[in-house]
Amino acid sequence: MSASAARTLGVLGGGQLGRMFVHAAQRLGYSTAVLDPDPFSPAGLVSHHHIQTAYTDPNGLDQLARCCRAVTTEFENVPALALAHLARSISVAPGADAVSIAQDRIREKTYFASCGVPVAPYAVIETEAQLAAVSEQLLPGILKTARLGYDGKGQIRVQTHAELAHAWDKLQRTPCVLEQLLALQQECSVIVARGRDGSCVSLPLQCNRHRNGILAVTEIFEGNIPEALAQRADTATRTIASHLNYVGVLCVEFFVLASGELLANEMAPRPHNSGHYSIDACDVSQFELQVRTLADLPLVQPRQHSPALMLNLLGDIWPENGEPPWAKVLALPGAHLHLYGKTKASKGRKMGHLTLTGASMEAVRATAQQAAAILGIAPF
């Protein structure tokens, strides 16, 4: 390995998660390499090296392997074959096996259950016979494609068997799961970082609110969920990571039911949108943890030093020509604005996020509501 490769960390995917990984890596003195075909990808724009090929292009992957000491991924839909290709010549974390489980809701649910972590009642729908055999108990439900869904894409809510059959047609009869539509008391997520030596640390539990299947608001403060529940979610996430012998940052999303039952929804083999607050409200962010796991640096338990609330900034709030009134938002105390460098704003597209920190959760919520009003985000 050349001296420059020994100081370079790589990432597959050039979205906002890759961009924040690049920022964290560079702060620790590393050079970075991003593989993403888009010449204007958010991470490619700020990285030392930007390899602009398809994720499956062996030449691009070899080029990445030559210029780095280790490679990670910023999205779970990266072809597992690309990770396996890289792993032949370079250290890759997380591994292709963990990523391929996270890519497939069917394998993911089976895996959670094998770890003793319950999931929502569901049925696999891959054949006509399975469709016909769906139990009434699962209706109303949500039909989800087993693969390639994100931000609520590839999901259809159904009330009846007839609607279910129609929805499966609409999803081109691709392998799906039908989940019972649950009355969610709360949604939360836990982010852990696990090193090659098996050491594991976690961020404080995040409480999440979604709108139209997309994360809208994350709140993180002590007591945001009963302590015993937070402990259970933390333990479940650590178990899920350790049974996979996982290396890297992993997020597990949970549903909390009124009964206090905790169900695992899905996992992301990478930093997660609900952990963005850690950049501004913790002494070690999820992206620094990702860098540390990749570079075999020590992991320390992050400490949150301020209550925090994160608002996602979707393309919906961009005016036709121009930008939202950032100066007004930045006039608020404890406002930390992150924009991802995307030039085209479209509905539902994640363009940035705003983290609010303050002395108390009440103060943070009050400024967050002011920010939402300024930006035209509905109050929450």
Instruction: List residues near ligand ATP by CB under 6 A.
Output: 120, 142, 144, 149-153, 179-182, 184, 187, 210, 213-215, 253, 265-266
Closer residue to ligand ATP (CB): 253 or 288: 253
The rounded distance, in Å, linking the Cα atoms of 350 and 317 is: 11
CB-nearer residue toward ligand ATP: 176 or 244: 176
Closest distance of CB 236 from Mg ion, Å: 16
Q: Tokens at residue 264, please? A: 């695992």
* Closer residue to ligand ATP (CB): 37 or 213: 213
Q: How far is the CB of 57 from Mg ion (least distance, A)?
A: 29
Q: How far is the CB of 149 from Mg ion (least distance, A)?
A: 8
For the record, the structure tokens of 34 come out as: 């991003």
Write down the least CB distance from residue 69 to Mg ion, Å.
32
- Give the residue from 179, 120, 106, 111 showing the smallest Cα distance to 148: 106
Q: What is the DSSP string of 294-352?
A: HTTPPP----B-S-EEEEEEEGGGS-SSS---HHHHHTSTTEEEEE-------TT-EEE
CA distance 75 to 273: 11
| Chain residue at closest Cβ approach to Mg ion | 253
Question: Cα(131)–Cα(116) distance, rounded to whole angstroms?
Answer: 27
Furthest-apart CA atoms within the chain: distance in Å:
62
- Contact yes or no for 357/308 (Cβ under 8 A): yes
Give me the least distance between CB of 199 and Mg ion, in Å please. Answer: 27
Residue nearer to Mg ion on the CB measure, 108 or 253 = 253
Question: Between residues 25 and 266, which has the closer beta carbon with respect to ligand ATP?
Answer: 266
Site residues (CB under 5 A) for Mg ion? 253
